[in-house]
Copies of this chain bind each other. A is one copy, B any other.
Amino acid sequence: MTKPAPITPDKDLSNPVLEVDEQLVDDLSSLLDTGQRGMVLNLVADLHPADLARLISHLPRDEAEQLFEWLPADVAADVVDDLDDTFRADLLEEVETERLAEIIDELDTDEAADVLADLPEEVASQVLPELEDAAELRELLAYDEETAGGIMATELVAVSPSWTVAEATEEVRRNAETVEEIFVVFVVDETERLKGFVSLKRLLLSPAEARIGDVMKTDVPSVPTEVDQEEVARIMERYDLVSLAVVDADGCLVGRITIDDVVDVIREEAEEDIQRMSGITGDEEPTDSVLRITRGRLPWLLLGMIGAGFAGSVIGAFEHTISKVSILAAFIPVVMAMAGNAGIQSSAIIVQGLASGDVWSTDMMRRLGKETVVALINGVALAIAIALFVFVVFVGMAQLFPNVIHPVEQPFRLAVTAGLSLFVVILLAASIGTTIPLFLNRFGIDPALATGPFITTSNDIIGLIVFFALATLLYLPYVTAG
């Protein structure tokens, strides 16, 4: 295994010799163009694989393929581990089976399974029989990619409780090559059932002749294979774990998850949430093709347009009101913005709390109470602000600049109507923003889906209905203009 040990990047990070930037990309690009293999390999030799991966992602596709082809299999494997999923699959698809097998053989089983899962089926099934760990990989591929089984590696050190510390140390030595990241030695009985663990520190500090059964800790943290990766991340984060055992239905040790895998999960899930909130199906990467990007965005834009169409039909329904007092249309953006923003604020906090486990789905009434009080305060403040604003503009400024601002009838009544509407809209928006995610969560639907376009659209519609209904009731009867 040539994957760098967790704490040994190939070079001093504090003093990078080569800055991975546009300049280096350009230099490399022209060397690749002129086919100068030796100089290219020389230039990238000092780079950490993670930096090399960033560099390759910034090269034009054909040059990236050329450079990747020239890399020794072990370096290529290190790079593969750091590339975006789609970009990686595209790149590896072009590699011939023999070299592909050579590259994948250099990876840890969890990474190899990831790579295989992303490859087109015919490429994967062609390369799989050629791999050293084919049997293990077939098993790993059977797990759902986003579960403990899907992210675990099978590389681990397991010893028997009857062994001595010296024997266990020897076992670590035997596995030192294949298991680079060792934080703990797992203890299993003859049927592979997980019994305990010994940290490396404890192994180092215990007498050589001591029995593992006597020095091990029995309260070993473990999860079954089918646990969702988000739950795995939450457990490792909450309990500050660097290594977590994965067991099958019989309690037998089948793999382990290390903290660096979970760091990737946390980052991925956070990026997915932000993308979902922004109306993007949650896995766009900067290296994605234009068509792939469009596929992830257009459906949400269409959905948003349909939602906005409903909001538009609310306005259409009040066309008579607007045709009578067209200045009311100027309030549409304010009503929509406030309904959307207040709703998003509430729901973002709920979604975040649910994801971290700080908010429970049973917290409904407590959260609703708190959000309602916040909405009351914000609603009163903004209602006063808009009422004052309307009054100042349509009374004060209309008198000062009669050519720019046309005075309205009953400005005081308009100000009160606007303020009251805003207050009601904010209160409703906060309630909807709070309850919908909690409600979805209760029924096992990812509440992150609710924060984005969905809440905004429903709040827009409700906000507009409230405003125009109140305006028709409280303001329209008192104006004469047409």
Contacts and interface: CB of A to CB of B under 8 A. Distances in A.
B277 A242 contact: no
A197 B374 contact: no
B205 A297 contact: no
B312 A333 contact: yes
Contacts of A51: 238
A43 interface: no
B316 A330 contact: yes
Contacts of A385: 302, 305
Interface of A is mostly: helix
Contacts of A188: none
A290 interface: yes
Contacts of A330: 312-313, 315-316, 319
Interface string A42-66: 0000001011001001100000000
A219 B11 contact: yes
B286 A309 contact: no
A352 B82 CA distance: 17
A223 B279 contact: no
Given A50-B238, A274-B274, A360 B22 contact: yes
Q: How many copies does the complex hold?
A: 2
A323 B319 CA distance: 10
Nearest to A430: B297
Contact-residue size bin, chain A (C-beta under 8 Å from the other chain): 35 or more
A22 B349 contact: no
A280 B349 CA distance: 9
Interface in A200-230: 200-201, 203-205, 217, 219-224
Nearest to A184: B7
Given A204-B169, A259-B263, A385-B302, A336 B323 contact: no
Contacts of A378: 294, 297-298, 301
Interface in A335-352: 336-338, 341-342, 344-345, 347-349, 352
A305 B382 contact: yes
A5 B199 contact: yes
A262 B284 CA distance: 24
Given A241-B9, A353-B286, A338 B267 contact: no
A453 B341 contact: yes
15 contacts: A8-B199, A9-B239, A13-B239, A14-B247, A57-B358, A58-B363, A172-B204, A173-B205, A298-B378, A300-B345, A301-B378, A305-B386, A309-B333, A312-B333, A315-B332
